[in-house]
Chains A and B, each alone.
Chain A
Amino acid sequence: DIVMTQSPDSLAVSLGERATINCKSSQSVLYNSNNKNYLAWYQQKPGQPPKLLIYWASTRESGVPDRFSGSGSGTDFTLTISSLQAEDVAVYYCQQYYTTPYTFGQGTKLEIK
């Protein structure tokens, strides 16, 4: 299985500041044939299902604010929130879909400082 490791486990950021969450995969999730990274990011608020934010490592899902962005390639990826809003408090997960079993990172809890 591909192991997904996120850092940090928790993060406190001031409103309006940048938040950065990292995700590392135990093997590359880049398909050379199409140059796509099979990596997604989700946001989960308490009592709610996860919500897809980013797929193909950097493609924003429809309706997701543009303060959310994804970057990286191969084994190292980053989710950036450019200017933290109060409604962004949540747990964030990365997920690889390069191969089954699909696997998720352990989650990063984002709070307001």
Chain B
Amino acid sequence: QVQLQESGPGLVKSSETMSLTCTVSGGSISTYYWSWIRQPPGKGLEWIGYIYSGSTNYNPSLKSRVTMSVDTSKKQFSLKVSSVTAADTAVYYCARTLGELYGYFELWGRGTLVTVSS
């Protein structure tokens, strides 16, 4: 069965760039839309954006600081967030949708906590 696994540093310094990777195992990366979603501790969910075959769509609230990319040969997609602050401390999830108008998240990774320190 298809699984998603997030990886990356758990601690990032304020003003630096955080980088996360999601590895897709057991299935194709090419035919789906891949999103990043975050959840600050004890709070709700925020969609960061998606990537599909190299095309991206970012949440305007984060657009100026976010970059997503995909490496189909490694079956990985990545997230970079620049100029991080304490407000970026969250559990970051990668998730799959079937398309932009099928934007319900039917598969999720377990999530990885990123803490921004001063």
Contacts and interface: CB of A to CB of B under 8 A. Distances in A.
Query: Do A and B assemble together?
Result: yes
Interface of A: 1, 38, 40, 42, 48-52, 55, 61, 93, 95, 97, 100-107
Contact of A104 (B47, B100, B108, B109): B47
Contacts of A93: 44-45
Given A93-B45, A97-B97, A104-B46, 6 more contacts: A38-B103, A40-B105, A49-B95, A49-B109, A100-B47, A103-B47
B17 interface: no
B61 interface: yes
Chain A contact residues: over half helix, strand or loop, or mixed? loop
A50 B57 contact: no
16 contacts: A38-B103, A49-B95, A49-B108, A50-B93, A50-B105, A52-B105, A93-B45, A95-B104, A95-B105, A97-B103, A100-B103, A101-B59, A101-B61, A103-B47, A104-B46, A107-B45
Nearest to B45: A104
B57 to A, nearest CB: 5
B100 A52 contact: no
B101 A101 contact: no
Contacts of B106: 52, 55, 61
A60 B101 CA distance: 18
A98 B105 CA distance: 13
Nearest to A107: B44
What are the 6 closest A-B residue pairs judged by CB atoms, nearest first?
A97-B103, A49-B108, A40-B104, A55-B104, A101-B59, A102-B47
A97 B102 contact: yes
A51 B59 CA distance: 22
Contacts of B95: 49
Task: With a 10 A CB-CB cut-off, give which of A93, A97, A105 has the most chain B CB atoms.
Answer: A97
Contacts of B110: 48-49
- For A49, A95, A101, A103, which residue has the most chain B Cβ atoms within 10 angstroms? A49
